[in-house]
Amino acid sequence: MKLTAFRNQLKWIMRYSWVLFRKGIGSFSTALKLSWQIMRSRIKRHHTKARGTSHYQPNLKCISKLQPEQFSIQFVKEPENQFDTDAVKIVAVVFGNSVLKLGFLSKELTAKWKEQLANEDSIKVVDYEITGVKRASAFVGINLTYVITTPTATS
């Protein structure tokens, strides 16, 4: 019984590691470590929607046509933002091409994770879902799943 449960956990870790790696989380080693920590509940996954996506519809539609391994999604501080100097933009880094702005992290989450956002490597987007692509007249949005890899984030 225990051996079967362990094998199932190991399968999940390997599959999820491969998904993370294909979505540009970094090296396979990084993806494997992250998957292991998630499985062992050492870090939690958090979910949010990008804000301000109505201003970046062409960019969202562009990345919806790409394969997951062709770009990665990241949070980047934007101190030059004229409306909010604490703003955190959500960007898609298209490998070998460009950086596309997709929207913003909400003010509430920016305030909550301010300390972790100071270290660029501590918050990683591990999954995303682009919404509204199948309906021609709909606005396109993006739902994000991210993890915080700093020790203070496990509380």
What pLDDT score does 137 carry? 66
Q: Which residues pair with 100 in a beta bridge?
A: 92
Positive or negative, the CA dihedral 63, 112, 44, 35 is positive
What pLDDT score does 151 carry? 52
List average pLDDT for each run of 10 residues in the chain, which is 155 residues long. Answer: 80 88 82 86 88 93 88 91 92 88 94 82 85 79 87 43
Contact 151, 57 (CB under 8 A): no
What pLDDT score does 153 carry? 41
Pairing of strands 71-77, 99-104: unpaired
Q: What are phi and psi of 85, to 5 degrees?
A: -70, -15
Helix H or strand E segment including 32? helix 28-39
| pTM for the whole structure | 0.77
What pLDDT score does 87 carry? 92
Contacts of 3 (CB under 8 A, 6+ apart): none
What pLDDT score does 155 carry? 38
Residue type, 139: F
Segments making up each domain of the chain, as ranges:
1-42, 44-154
CATH code that applies to domain 44-154: 3.30.70.2330
Q: Which residues pair with 128 in a beta bridge?
A: 144
d(C-alpha 68, C-alpha 38), whole Å: 21
Which DSSP letter does residue 139 get?
A: P
What pLDDT score does 100 carry? 94
Q: What three-state secondary structure class fits 143?
A: strand
> Could you tell me the two tokens for 150?
């700093």
10 Å Cβ neighbour count for 126?
21
